[in-house]
Structure 1
Amino acid sequence: GEAASWRDGSGRRVRLTPGSVDILGRVRRTCVVLAAAHRDHDTANNAGANLAAFCQRCHMIHDRPEHRRRRWATLFRRKALGDLFRGPYA
């Protein structure tokens, strides 16, 4: 509160004036759920230096390249199995 770092619903700073009303009554409160993210995307590596606490949105952004890589590998594997057992993949 002393740093005047509260934000309103639009993301703008809420300025405090001496003797003003209670700031917690004017700002919107949200509940943020933190998730443990593996920095190197290796779920077997649970060292403290490899873990980070991200909100769910930031966790998904952090994992996006790994999710794309895994999705490509899964689709590639499915196509390869289709070619092997059922002929060319339709």
Structure 2
Amino acid sequence: MPIRPEHRWLYPIDWPEISRIIRFTRAGGRCEHCQRPHGRYVAQLAGADGVWWDTDIAAWRDGRGRLLRRAPALVSLEAIRMTRRPVYLATAHLNHDPTFSGPRWRNLAALCQRCHMIHDAPEHRRRRWWNAFRRRALGDLFTGRYS
């Protein structure tokens, strides 16, 4: 995911190299939370909370990357909705602070889009609340209270 220009100064100058090392050397080209492989299309059951087919081991995995004990129950071919989604890894800051990567990059993780959004959801909610709060406060300051 590209870095916004206003946030670029928060990252170290060698961020592309660090990100590449985290994604492909340390994580081996797989998401560190759910084990989805980078650069491939993954077959995922729609509405099954992230259940997907791992072609490398020919088995179903759940949304956390654990092997399913038995195959998901498939009712009929009409009821099956399977989607094929591309997987791209990104390096995520686990504490949401891009200025600190921690000793030996313990604060960084290689995550697919799905895991990255799940991980960042509380931070996105906090930022959305803060932006709405700030807008209301500026409105109260300059135009009076909202009706």
- Compute the TM-score of the two structures, normalised by the length of structure 1: 0.66
Shift of 1:7: 3.6
Does the residue aligned with 1:37 lie in a helix, a strand or coil? strand
Does the residue aligned with 2:106 lie in a helix, a strand or coil? helix
Equivalent residue runs for 1:6-85 within 5 Å: 6-7=58-59, 12=71, 31-47=86-102, 48-85=105-142
Correspondent of 1:5 among 49, 57, 67:
57
How high is the sequence identity, in percent, across the aligned residues?
57
Structure with bigger helix share is 1
Structure with bigger strand share is 2
Q: 1:86 to 1:32 in 2, by over 3 A?
A: same
Partner of 2:20: none
- The runs of at least 4 aligned residues of structure 1 exceeding 3 Å deviation read none
Unaligned runs of 5+ in 2: 1-55, 61-67, 73-83
Shift of 1:82: 0.1
Q: 1:53 to 1:87 in 2, by over 3 A?
A: same
Larger RCO, structure (CA 8 Å, separation 6 or more): 2
Shift of 1:51: 0.5
Q: How many residues align?
A: 70
Larger radius of gyration: 1
Q: 1:71 to 1:30 in 2, by over 3 A?
A: closer
Computed over aligned residues only, the root mean square deviation of the Cα atoms, in angstroms, reads 2.5
Unaligned runs of 5+ in 1: 14-28
